[in-house]
Structure 1
Amino acid sequence: METVTKAVRDTVGALTGSQTDSKPQQQSAGVAKSKITKNDWILLTGASGFVAGHVLVALLKAGYKVKCTVRSNEKATKIRSLYRQYASALDFVIVKDIAETGAFDEAVKGVTGVIHTASPFVMENTGDNRKTLLEPAIQGTLNILNSIKTYNPDVSRVVVTSSFASVLDLSKGDWVGHTYTERDWNPVTYDEAAFADGAFAYCASKSLAEKAAWNFVKDPSHGNFSLATICPPMVYGPVDTETMSLSALNTSTADIYRLMNGSEKKVPNTLFYAWVDVRDVAMAHVRALEAAPKPNGVEDRFLTTPGVFSYKEICEIIARRFPHLVEAGLTPDPKEADEVPPHYNVDGSKSVLELQLAYKSLETSMVDTVESLLKLEKQEGKAQANVTV
């Protein structure tokens, strides 16, 4: 279960809420695109999350207007202050509890596309997985789909942020020789997850919520929209130094920071091998939003990953590009790391072929991440005395 716990800690989720007012435009025939067009209003749930924040930037840069759901007015104010140049292209709705019936009824009005990233992220054993994880994840997804069905027939495309946790078969461990693709599913059941530990239940919540979404759209009465799901594994990438603090890093960024702040004296064993850069995940959401739906109910499911990695590789990159961190004892020496054991592989080629993604390399992602964290240290005055940036 240590494997699952580590995987969950580094699989990024999102947060919350906002408002809108535009009409959908028709796409000319002939091009394999959805009915979504630039300048349309798009609903983005959980807009203050790590992944969602990058999705927001990608949408705005692509020319869309974005209605954001967040959990508080404070979060809405913060986002507005960061993107003043897009003031006329931003709107907000407060959604405090995504599992509450009707939570998205107002939010879905006036948009032509929806990107749903909001989902609970709870790893601790709470004693009631159904209440803290399973129902919020499943009902949060069904709530937004039901709201679209009931209150906005103009929505033509919905993209749901799922996870590699919904692909991974935890019972197989490292599953040497297997290559995970979109065709794989986490087979855990609701009853198994209800009384499991928090990490296992989190993985189950992602799988069960995604399955609920696919079952919903298979019903002929579900509405006029098509569905795509994005399944990212460990999501790394640079932090926004204007909004992030070292004391409140998202879990996957904290996973890298521990490899450069002296917390780890030895390269830790890698317990979860698939990864992706957050900027590529964001682009995957936008491209999936714009993509034409598959015919005859074929699932538009995308495993978004360039491949596998190890902590040894990450430490090798840090040692090569930021040698002072190793010399200062802040990054474990990769020369002393254990050999990486055989493990499963992953195949994200469908996302390359159909979404035209060009994945960033592990080195690019890690260099950008470390540089952003060093900048954050400097801003907060926490850089080590013997470390120069």
Structure 2
Amino acid sequence: MTRETILITGASGFIATHVVNAFLRAGYAVRGTVRSEEKAAKVHRTFSEYSERLSFVIVPDIAQPYAFDEAVQGVVGVIHTACPFKAEVEDKERDLLQPSVLGTFNILNSIQKYAPQVRRVVETSSFAGMLDISKGNWPGHVYSEADWNPMTYAEATNANTPDIATYCAGKAMAERAAWDFMARENPPFDLVTICPPCVYGPNANATADLVKLNTSSAEIYQLMSPMSKPSDPLPPPVVWVWVDVRDVAEAHLKAFEVPEAGGQRFLVSAGNHSSQKIADILRDHVAEVQDRVPLGKPHSGMGGREVYGVDASKSEKVLGLRYHPLEETVVDAARAFLRLEQVV
């Protein structure tokens, strides 16, 4: 039996590895893009049981024209997760905005030219593309698919704008570029965008490195690493809402498979959280690290802060998502980190 092939870009990433797993388990053949043969080999080892259904194309730079021309040929769907992120950059436009926007345009353009059989593209966008940083904690506001990050290109490239704010603006610009492409070109495929906030959960790929964790994973690990101690202050999370990486992967699979998802944008989130809640879970449920974890003000929840909320009901209704509880997510993430500590 010939299996349908799905292209998953950035296949060595934290989220993408779980997306690859979701599609392989669902019976698809997966073609992944990675930046080097070394990454391809490591991801292949992660999924050795599916080796006959997993292949790779090397794409060193997604911002280069024609980067995806080869990769898209022969696939029926594309899951575009690739988007470089650096906490500090030399050039905001070159290092943050262009890779995000051009990478999105390049893959849609390649699909239109070389992959007429593609039915649907699912793009990994971000809650960052919804977040209005100027509003701060914005008590009383409930973010939904109707919200867009309002930062302009001029503001995003301003030298005084923090790099993280530029990254957030770039996610919005990349997603808008995708929807603009669809409206302008009217291609034969449709588009779905998935917008997760802080993504937590177990690192499941062979490229995971405790020294170079993705930003959201590092948020949890810094609270339990051998370098942390009970007297350390608790840092605020990047944003006050979260989701389990396995639920994000399921969202991508359902976004491709569910007919009604076509042409829609989905906020995927399990709700609010805080560093205090994560620290409490680590201390109460992961005995190996309880003496490392900062105390803060135990079991004070959100610490008396009033912050924005989220409405992810659309993802539950249309995609059928059921979200992991924070306790399970944090414990599973911690167990994965502890396994990685044994490897070092």
Q: TM-score, normalised by structure 1?
A: 0.82
Q: 1:63 aligns with which of 27, 30, 42?
A: 27
Question: Which has the larger displacement, 234-243 or 307-316?
Answer: 234-243
* 2:340 corresponds to: 376
Q: Give 1:250 shift.
A: 2.0
Provide, for residues 104-143 of structure 1, a one-character-per-residue CA deviation record: whole Å limited to 9, x for no partner.
11111000100000112123142x3221111111111001
Question: Which has the larger displacement, 61-70 or 266-275?
Answer: 266-275
| Match runs of 1:264-343 below 5 Å | 265-270=232-237, 272-293=239-260, 299-323=263-287, 325-326=289-290, 328=291, 330-335=292-297, 339-343=303-307
- Does the alignment pair 1:255 with 2:219? yes
| Match runs of 1:193-204 below 5 Å | 193-195=156-158, 196-204=161-169
- Does the alignment pair 1:167 with 2:130? yes
Shift in alpha-carbon separation, 1:375–1:81, aligned structure 2, 3 A: closer
Counterpart code for 1:129: K
Shift in alpha-carbon separation, 1:371–1:93, aligned structure 2, 3 A: same
- Does the alignment pair 1:367 with 2:331? yes
Residue ranges of structure 2 left out of the alignment (5+ in a row) = none
Counterpart code for 1:134: L
* 1:207 corresponds to: 172
Q: Give 1:86 shift.
A: 1.5
Distance 2:265 2:24 in 1: 24
User: Is the Cα contact below 8 Å between 1:149 and 1:222 reproduced in 2?
Assistant: no
User: Is the Cα contact below 8 Å between 1:227 and 1:293 reproduced in 2?
Assistant: no
Shift in alpha-carbon separation, 1:175–1:116, aligned structure 2, 3 A: same
Shift in alpha-carbon separation, 1:243–1:147, aligned structure 2, 3 A: closer
Q: Give 1:334 shift.
A: 4.4
* 2:154 corresponds to: 191
* 1:112 corresponds to: 76
Distance 2:59 2:343 in 1: 32
* 2:49 corresponds to: 85
Provide, for residues 221-276 of structure 1, a one-character-per-residue CA deviation record: whole Å limited to 9, x for no partner.
33200000000000000123754232232221111111112425133334520100
SS at match of 2:113: helix
Residue ranges of structure 1 left out of the alignment (5+ in a row) = 1-21, 24-38, 381-389
Distance 2:260 2:181 in 1: 16
User: Is the Cα contact below 8 Å between 1:125 and 1:197 reproduced in 2?
Assistant: no
Shift in alpha-carbon separation, 1:315–1:294, aligned structure 2, 3 A: closer
Aligned sequence identity (%): 48
Distance 1:269 1:205 in 2: 23
How many aligned positions are there? Answer: 337
* 1:9 corresponds to: none
Question: Which has the larger displacement, 70-79 or 227-236?
Answer: 70-79
Root-mean-square deviation (CA), in Å?
1.9
Q: TM-score, normalised by structure 2?
A: 0.93
Distance 1:204 1:375 in 2: 35
Distance 2:57 2:89 in 1: 31
